[in-house]
Amino acid sequence: MSMKRQATPRIATDWQTLPLPDDTGLSSAMQLRVQTVPPRHYFPAHTHPWNQLVYASSGVLTVTAAGHCFVIAPRQAVWVPTGVPHQVGSLYGAEYRSLYVADEPPPQVADGCTVFIVTAFLRALILEASRLGDKDKAGSYGEHIDALILEQLRRLRALPASLPWPRHASLQGLCETLYGDPADPRSLDDWATALNISGRTLSRRFERETGLTLRIWRQRLRLFKAIELLGSGMAVTRAALELGYATPSAFIHMFRSETGMSPLAYRQAVLAEG
């Protein structure tokens, strides 16, 4: 599939664009940059002639790439292969570390955009690389740190944590509406009527383009938005209402079923990490 045809969610009109970093090339096989995204700001779509690991050190990031949307909380990272157009933003503000990894020698981390849980050991290695800086990494110690980081990247556990985006214009409009307002109560039949097609046709088209039913897609969207809201420090009850749940208990049940932990426990863990 041509990258030019892949669709991603459009940034809200009240978000501000950040200037892209002046990255002219890598001075070594691995390079690290610390970047801050203010609330409702984003780096527009761009590419690199190298691989990139986007690691959220504090706050929650929204990364769109390869026709998917990724919500990255602290202790998570997304691998973006060489040449893949991507944009990075944050609703409530975040700090992240970009780990640039050259193609030679081949890193052998992942073929496509992939979300990982960052282990405590890898986090410590990234912090040490950040402390050293590019100039101080030229010696054998710095090279050992880089080698350990790369080996740890190859051992990370991948997460099924992406939200696929359709290419068809009418389906994009549907998804963009729900992305902007996850609490929108309209059913599949309501949306089919609005699009002047049958519910069966809408269901078939949506699943063909995203690989998910509309119900599962909306559930995953709400989970991603929950991660974003809780990661910003929002209270559990307010997050439940923002996402359209009738009661906090229904929201808690969904979140626990999907993540294995309660929203409150997740919120506390993320805030402690940040």
- Starting at the earlier edge strand, list the strands of the sheet with 76-80: 30-37, 94-101, 51-59, 76-80, 114-117, 158-159
Instruction: Give the single-character DSSP code of 212.
Output: S
Indicate if 17 and 36 belong to the same structural domain. Answer: yes
Indicate if 98 and 76 belong to the same structural domain. Answer: yes
Indicate if 23 and 110 belong to the same structural domain. Answer: yes
- Starting at the earlier edge strand, list the strands of the sheet with 16-17: 16-17, 41-46, 86-90, 61-65, 68-72, 163-164
Give the CATH number, domain containing residue 188: 1.10.10.60
Indicate if 174 and 86 belong to the same structural domain. Answer: no
| pLDDT recorded at residue 272 | 74
Indicate if 155 and 210 belong to the same structural domain. Answer: no
Indicate if 100 and 150 belong to the same structural domain. Answer: yes
Q: Which residues pair with 96 in a beta bridge?
A: 35, 56
The model carries a pTM of 0.74
Please name the amino acid found at residue 263.
P
The low-confidence residues of the chain, meaning pLDDT below 70, are 1-13, 134-139, 160-161, 273-274
Indicate if 143 and 246 belong to the same structural domain. Answer: no
Select from 126, 159, 192 the last residue of a domain: 159
pLDDT in tens, 37-57: 999 899 999 999 999 999 988
Select from 139, 159, 179 the last residue of a domain: 159
Burial 146-169 (b: 16+ CB within 10 A, else e): bebbbebbeebeeeebbbbbbeee
Domain enclosing residue 211, as ranges: 166-273
Indicate if 38 and 140 belong to the same structural domain. Answer: yes
Pairing of strands 16-17, 41-46: parallel
Q: Which residues pair with 87 in a beta bridge?
A: 64
Indicate if 151 and 23 belong to the same structural domain. Answer: yes
pLDDT in tens, 86-118: 999 988 888 999 999 999 888 899 888 998 888
Select from 108, 131, 159 the last residue of a domain: 159
Indicate if 123 and 57 belong to the same structural domain. Answer: yes
Give the CATH number, domain containing residue 123: 2.60.120.280
Say which residue the tokens 């501000």 belong to.
16
Indicate if 10 and 104 belong to the same structural domain. Answer: yes
Query: How many distinct structural domains can be found in the chain?
Result: 2
Indicate if 199 and 265 belong to the same structural domain. Answer: yes
